[in-house]
Amino acid sequence: MKILLSGSSGLVGSALSTALRARRHHVIRLVRSPSASAAEDIVWDPAAGTIPSRLLEGLDAVVHLGGDNIASSRWTEEKKELMRSSRVDSTRLLASTLAGLQRPPTVFACASAIGYYGDRGDEIMTEQSSAGSGFLPDLVAEWEGATRAAEHAGIRVINFRIGVIMSPAGGALARMLFPFNCCLGGQLGGGNQYMSWVSLDDVVEIIIFGLNTELLSGPINAVAPTPVTNREFTKALGRALRRPTLLPMPAWLIRLTMGQMGEELLLSSTRVEPEKLRRAQFPFEYETVTAAFEHML
């Protein structure tokens, strides 16, 4: 396939680009700054609303993974607006542009997040579950809604609701390794909140599986089939690293130091299952967090 990929320099994008090229797909990067070493790059400016639409004609698929890092700093009003615009505005521009092409792609796959479901305790979430309440659920709902122009144009749209990605190369796990290796790791808050995680390897394969499976569309929960509580996750990581996990971080301290970001990212409980992937018989490489840690660490 001839595939346009945004966010190619990120954790998921770089791994996905490598995997697609290994399968002999033709990957073209959608970037904000031109590179002398990549003549085929297509340069766009989502903030200005500009994209060279003629260069998008004849693509087979588009994968959009862009978005500001939600865990890089406290959620000030300025930060939240950047989180929103980098997701919603860029997705809306891309979707409307694809919808107006004479030869549009057959599939538009866009990153989304399990933050859609919000803090739901022990309740099991599937793709049929309603949105939660709070900043993240509202953001994700608007983010997914920004793909509607492409859907209305007859393009198969997939919204991958990605869970907490596990990889020592980046993301949440990479940040945890230093304190855990120094015997400073422990559960967050009460530890009863569910974490719906997924390995980086499986995220990449889920996206490729979605591109190739015509029956898949709409929201897809890109999570492992066995969500765990933060307490279970902490113990599994400690065992894998052969380190004690005796220093919990109390909820009040998380709220004090991280504010709304800590509340919605670290203390909320989101128990998500990949119902659509199970029905499509997607073969997970790592179904349990223990197996994932054994491989990674």
Q: How many domains does the chain have?
A: 1
**CA nearest neighbour of 132 among 166, 89, 161:** 161
Per-residue model confidence as pLDDT tens digits over 19-51 = 999 999 999 999 998 775 677 899 999 999 999
Please report, for residues 36, 128, 201, 267, 269, the alpha-carbon distance to residue 124 in angstroms, rounded to integers and kept in the order given.
48, 11, 24, 17, 10
Per-residue model confidence as pLDDT tens digits over 192-240 = 999 999 999 999 999 999 999 999 999 999 999 999 999 999 999 999 9
CATH number at residue 241: 3.40.50.720
pTM of the model: 0.95
**Averaged over 283-289, what is the pLDDT?**
96
C-alpha 291/C-alpha 288 separation (Å) is: 5
User: By residue range, what is the domain housing residue 251?
Assistant: 2-296
With contact defined as beta carbons under 8 Å apart, do 243 and 236 qualify? no
